[in-house]
Chains A and B, each alone.
Chain A
Amino acid sequence: MGYVGARIKRVEDLRFLRGIGKFVGDIRRVGMTHAAILRSPYAHARVVKIDTASAAKTSGVIGILTATDMPDLQTIPMRIGSVPGLERSLQYPIATDRVRYVGDPVAVVVAVDRYVADDALELIEVEYESLPPVVDTRAAMRLDGPRLHDAVPSNVAAKFKVDVGNIDRAMAEADLVIEEEFFTQRHGAVPLETRGLVAEFDEGREILTMWGPTKMTHVNRGILSNLLDLPESSIHFIEPDVGGGFGARGEFYPEDFLVPFAAIYFRRPVCWIEDRSENLKATNQSREQQHRIKVAVKQDGTILGLEDQILFDMGAYTRTHGGIPGIAASAMLRGPYGIKNYRCTVFCVLTNKTPAGTYRSPGRYEANFVRERAIDLIAHRLKLDPAEVRRRNFIPPQAMPYDQGSHPFHYMVYDSGDYPGLFEKALARVNYPGIKRECESARQQGRALGVGLGYFVETSGLGPWEYARVEIDTKGRVILYSGCASVGQGVDTVLSQIVADELSVRLENVRVVRGDTARVPYGLGSNASRTTVMAGNAALGAAQKVKRKVLDRAAAHLEIGLDDLFIEDGRVIVRGSLQRSISFAEVARLSDPGIALKSGFSPGLSEENFFASDRRPFPYGVHVAVVEVDRETGMARLLKYLVAEDVGRAVNPMLIEGQMAGGLAQGIGGALLEEFVYDFDGTPLATTFMDYLLPTAMEIPPADFLPLELVPSPLNPLGVKGAGEGGIAAAGGAIANAVCDALGVEVKRLPLKPEYLLNLLQKGREFQSKTPECIVV
């Protein structure tokens, strides 16, 4: 019907526009109680004594739980990124004897409403014995310093190395070696809806139902099953509407154990809605990385080798993502360039801050900032145009698929792409030479205008499989049961488009069921730009299978060969005899068990399908940023922006542009505004939206988005590459480069806050880099 590729309005929107979506905070159960969580006010302390007596006496309090009420407490496991060593710093759902960040859960109050629960929190008396906090990443690594976890000396939870080619020879053969340190600040996903859960335990049937899980309901159900020692068949997860995910939401957090535990313990439905202050202290943060790089360059700008040492600040505990931000940064640091000699050492470092996990384009946003800044440093040092240095280093399209060399924890074969081709298209679209001239002449008139480039290669479509079942009911409706999740990105629309086209039915005739573990048996959920790739292709395969079934049954019923049939608008029609046809609804009725069993067919009009892949697509693209900086105030303002990305095939270009626009806004936030600042003693200073600055409509420029279908991915039948993260991936790098161009300074860290830029301006242009100090590990 031509839905794939079209700008189809979203099927999800009507309920959101009318205010009748059902988010977790909208779930009401009979007898529902409300939980509030007492969190540590100290970054590092021993818990000596907890006195809940007076809090428990508060009218309306149902009960209070601490670790002593949970005798079989286990740590929350990693589900991904399990670098050996990280298992030594896993988190218990509630503090047993020590707290390691401000926000670490200490007690849970359950009361008749949240007001009463919050009152009771204030009456709990906890005696803490403070311990020396470890806040700075590098200082944390001192051998003689305080330890967060007894089993982890020098707070290095894990360390690993990527070593490709011969980096020492590359350094020796270089005409120029550039050494620099870069830093990306701690910031994070911060979805507009905070986390929340409602848990209800049906004691008689022994069924625990949870509303609020998202992202990967089946995986999290498995974790909860182990932690509660309750069979998976006794746990029912239901994903409601979800107010944004971006990596952080839908992971298994302490509360994902505490809330169902409380519901079982008190035999009452329990609702917990995270408040914003909790959200800014308790939900995974991300991005805090220090990079110390060395680049070996020839006189013509070609890069011979790249060496990096990454310190990934993982906060106080290993969470479900394990070492992913460090893994992804070390895997994708080379981006689109053919750097044959590469060595990267990653240290996963524990500090007394909120634990870290992934945030949209994890590790890549950081790595792209570092590498794209380094490319511009090369250009400045060799007096070349930054675009030219990129051209001289791209992996050529004829080298695809391209193996970047082994990485201990990451798949590394780029599937397809035309890096220089996309680059030239993007530069032509913005008239790059024209912009350069404009910026130059503005600068001559005293205005600080600059243009910056940021190339990226993303990884998407994380496998190894996804599940789909397509069913046609006796009303002729097509129902897709998918193992994916929705965090607000429009998956129902995209999947409906794919299924509607394959079955030649109208879009409004397709319904997507997902996020309910009782209705969908398997699923790996939505993350890592995998939904269209994995769930889309799984749905396509299931639709193809059910189409064959429909045709077989129609052929038998119409007594005609398969070759003489075609389908259109929900009917199977005989070629050349358009009156002879049968509707999908009728075929479904013929598939009723009573009829089907007699006619020798298997009952039902439904087919399951798994799409499996151990390989991953690598979407890629470029950001072009034009900024103006006010030399007096240090404020950077974006004037123009382009994001171009090869998505392989655009199922719905409007939604892809939406993903790019949303990603870009977050990338701008990370480049200019957002930072989880911590005091010297580990106290978080950004715990409200007055201190943690999200971009508003005033900071986001009108931008141009160019989703391209240059090279379809050869790894899946749809040819899609996944498009959730390209909009954010290179924003830090492109904006930083534009600011450098505008001011004639060398930016080394994010965010580009006014005080930092003023400071750089005072110090003047810094082309020479310092030799870094030695690291003590």
Chain B
Amino acid sequence: MTRRTVSMTINGHEYRGTVEPRRLLVDFIREDLDLAGTHVGCEHGVCGACTILWNGEAVRSCIIFAVQADGATLETVEGLAKSNSELHPIQQAFWENHALQCGFCTPGLLLTIKALLKENPSPTEEEIRRTISGNLCRCTGYQNIVTAVKRVAEELNETNCSIK
């Protein structure tokens, strides 16, 4: 099969690669670039484990071909924290509120929530639930995730900060 060259910016770094046109973006990210924090839960765009940000918008990397993302600016879970010794406020809130168990759905949820808070810094419980309803979690029952999002939103509003 013919191969195509693709390049994209992920977490602020430039990546180039050669892929078959049918190669999924998530496989390119996980296997070719070894950014394995993005997970694959269903390969058909339902579970949300593979969610990444494309120009700040949450998308499912398991139903996008790598060639479609040529030239795109993406963010994955590896790009959330500023350094290895820090956590992003959403990650911190997840930790404090026991919003994860097995951790498999967590990267996708973190990015979905980042996109939500950027667009809507004070979401209602209903808005939070509706937004994360595209991310399946089989361990937590979601309640602590909802609480974590509320806490981050409260903190950001109290400190007059916005999500970066």
CA–CA, A493 to B6, complex, Å?
43
The answer to whether A90 has its CB under 8 Å from any CB of chain B is no
A193 with B136: CB separation less than 8 A: no
Shortest CB–CB separation between residue A490 and chain B, in angstroms?
7
- Across-interface contacts of A244 in B (CB, < 8 A): 101-102, 104, 138-139
Stretch at the interface among A621-629, A655-663, A713-721: A655-663
Stretch at the interface among A16-24, A290-298, A362-370, A452-460: A16-24
Partner of A115, one of B23, B132, B138: B23
The answer to whether A578 has its CB under 8 Å from any CB of chain B is no
Stretch at the interface among A98-106, A153-161, A689-697: A689-697
B138 with A192: CB separation less than 8 A: yes
- Across-interface contacts of A192 in B (CB, < 8 A): 41, 47, 49, 102, 104-105, 136-139
B138 with A662: CB separation less than 8 A: yes
B39 with A25: CB separation less than 8 A: yes
- Across-interface contacts of B130 in A (CB, < 8 A): 697-698
The answer to whether A201 has its CB under 8 Å from any CB of chain B is no
The answer to whether B76 has its CB under 8 Å from any CB of chain A is yes
Partner of A241, one of B94, B103, B132: B103
Shortest CB–CB separation between residue A85 and chain B, in angstroms?
34
Q: Which of B1-53 contact A (CB under 8 A)?
A: 20, 22-23, 30, 34-44, 46-47, 49
Shortest CB–CB separation between residue A130 and chain B, in angstroms?
29
Q: Which of B91-136 contact A (CB under 8 A)?
A: 91, 94-96, 98, 100-107, 110, 125, 128-130, 132-134, 136
A487 with B39: CB separation less than 8 A: no
- Across-interface contacts of A690 in B (CB, < 8 A): 44, 46
B138 with A246: CB separation less than 8 A: yes
CA–CA, A246 to B130, complex, Å?
26
Closest to B104 in A: A243
CA–CA, A273 to B31, complex, Å?
13
CA–CA, A12 to B94, complex, Å?
12
B47 with A689: CB separation less than 8 A: yes
CA–CA, A9 to B140, complex, Å?
15
Most chain A beta carbons < 10 A, residue from B23, B30, B46 = B46
A19 with B101: CB separation less than 8 A: no
Closest to B44 in A: A688
Closest to A17 in B: B91
The answer to whether B146 has its CB under 8 Å from any CB of chain A is yes
Partner of A488, one of B95, B107, B139: B139
A665 with B142: CB separation less than 8 A: yes
A697 with B100: CB separation less than 8 A: no
B98 with A655: CB separation less than 8 A: yes
B129 with A697: CB separation less than 8 A: yes
The answer to whether A10 has its CB under 8 Å from any CB of chain B is yes
A115 with B133: CB separation less than 8 A: no
The answer to whether A275 has its CB under 8 Å from any CB of chain B is yes
B46 with A665: CB separation less than 8 A: no
A243 with B103: CB separation less than 8 A: yes
The answer to whether A603 has its CB under 8 Å from any CB of chain B is no
A487 with B102: CB separation less than 8 A: yes
B77 with A18: CB separation less than 8 A: yes
CA–CA, A689 to B139, complex, Å?
17
A191 with B138: CB separation less than 8 A: yes
Closest to A27 in B: B36
The answer to whether A26 has its CB under 8 Å from any CB of chain B is yes
CA–CA, A205 to B20, complex, Å?
38
The answer to whether A412 has its CB under 8 Å from any CB of chain B is no
B side interface size, CB within 8 A: 57
The answer to whether B63 has its CB under 8 Å from any CB of chain A is no
CA–CA, A26 to B136, complex, Å?
20
Known: A115-B23, A192-B104. A18 touches B141 (CB 8 A): no
Shortest CB–CB separation between residue B3 and chain A, in angstroms?
12
A488 with B104: CB separation less than 8 A: yes
Most chain A beta carbons < 10 A, residue from B76, B87, B139, B142 = B139
B98 with A17: CB separation less than 8 A: no
- Across-interface contacts of B22 in A (CB, < 8 A): 115
The answer to whether A664 has its CB under 8 Å from any CB of chain B is yes
Known: A17-B95, A694-B136. A488 touches B141 (CB 8 A): no
Most chain B beta carbons < 10 A, residue from A16, A20, A26, A115 = A16
A side interface size, CB within 8 A: 56
- Across-interface contacts of A654 in B (CB, < 8 A): 98
B103 with A12: CB separation less than 8 A: yes
The answer to whether B144 has its CB under 8 Å from any CB of chain A is yes
The answer to whether B70 has its CB under 8 Å from any CB of chain A is no
Partner of A25, one of B40, B46, B100: B40
The answer to whether A231 has its CB under 8 Å from any CB of chain B is no
- Across-interface contacts of A361 in B (CB, < 8 A): none
Known: A19-B37, A244-B138. A13 touches B144 (CB 8 A): no
CA–CA, A273 to B43, complex, Å?
12
The answer to whether A276 has its CB under 8 Å from any CB of chain B is yes
Partner of B78, one of A14, A18, A22, A490: A18
Known: A25-B40, A697-B146. A19 touches B78 (CB 8 A): yes
Closest to A669 in B: B138
Known: A192-B136, A662-B141, A666-B138. A20 touches B42 (CB 8 A): no
B101 with A489: CB separation less than 8 A: yes
- Across-interface contacts of B101 in A (CB, < 8 A): 244, 488-490, 658, 662
Map CB proximity to B onto A240-251 as digits: 1 under 8 Å, 0 otherwise: 011110100000
- Across-interface contacts of B102 in A (CB, < 8 A): 16, 191-193, 241-244, 487-489
Map CB proximity to B onto A17-58 as digits: 1 under 8 Å, 0 otherwise: 111111101101000000000000000000000000000000
CA–CA, A374 to B87, complex, Å?
51
B129 with A488: CB separation less than 8 A: no
CA–CA, A527 to B96, complex, Å?
27
The answer to whether B67 has its CB under 8 Å from any CB of chain A is no
B140 with A193: CB separation less than 8 A: no
B95 with A14: CB separation less than 8 A: yes
B141 with A23: CB separation less than 8 A: no
The answer to whether B157 has its CB under 8 Å from any CB of chain A is no
The answer to whether A346 has its CB under 8 Å from any CB of chain B is no
B106 with A16: CB separation less than 8 A: yes
Known: A13-B103, A658-B101. A700 touches B142 (CB 8 A): yes
The answer to whether A524 has its CB under 8 Å from any CB of chain B is no
Partner of B107, one of A12, A19, A703, A727: A19
Most chain A beta carbons < 10 A, residue from B40, B95, B130, B143 = B143
Known: A276-B41, A689-B42. A19 touches B140 (CB 8 A): no
CA–CA, A620 to B78, complex, Å?
42
CA–CA, A696 to B98, complex, Å?
18
B143 with A700: CB separation less than 8 A: yes
Identify 17 residue pairs between A and B in the complex whose beta-carbon atoms are under 8 Å apart, listed by A's number.
A17-B94, A17-B110, A19-B37, A19-B38, A19-B78, A19-B80, A25-B39, A26-B30, A192-B137, A192-B138, A193-B102, A275-B43, A488-B102, A662-B139, A688-B44, A688-B46, A696-B136
| Chain A contact residues, CB within 8 Å of chain B | 9-10, 12-23, 25-26, 28, 115, 190-194, 241-244, 246, 273, 275-276, 487-490, 654-655, 657-658, 661-666, 688-690, 694, 696-698, 700, 702-703, 727
Q: Which 10 A-B pairs have the closest CB atoms?
A: A19-B37, A488-B102, A16-B103, A243-B104, A19-B77, A665-B141, A661-B141, A689-B46, A696-B133, A697-B142
Given A18-B77, A115-B20, A694-B136, 20 further pairs, Cβ under 8 A: A13-B95, A17-B95, A18-B78, A19-B36, A21-B103, A22-B36, A23-B104, A243-B102, A243-B104, A276-B44, A654-B98, A658-B101, A661-B141, A661-B144, A662-B140, A688-B42, A689-B136, A690-B46, A697-B128, A702-B143
